[in-house]
Amino acid sequence: MIARRSEIFEEYANGGLAIIANETRGDVNLSQAVLLMISSLRKRAESDTQVLDLSRLRI
């Protein structure tokens, strides 16, 4: 059971590293590239947050 969990974790980690490698391909300063990617994802997540509009409900 623990071995399977470790295997799943390793697969997720490798997938994440592959994404980072693709996103930073050709960049000289990897730290800055990763920070920019995180900042972009954060802004996208904040803008995707939807507010529940209850004004259409007739109560």
Flag whether the pTM goes above 0.85: no
Which amino acid, residue 57? Answer: L
pLDDT of residue 51: 67
Please tell me the distance from the alpha carbon of residue 48 to that of residue 50, in angstroms, as a whole number: 6
Which pLDDT tens digit goes with each residue over 3-57?
999 999 999 999 999 988 888 888 888 889 888 888 988 888 777 666 666 677 7
pLDDT of residue 26: 87
User: Which residues have CB under 8 Å from 30's CB, separation 6+?
Assistant: 24
Please tell me the distance from the alpha carbon of residue 9 to that of residue 42, in angstroms, as a whole number: 23
pLDDT of residue 3: 92
pLDDT of residue 50: 66
CA distances from 42 to 29, 45, 55, 56 (A): 20, 5, 29, 30
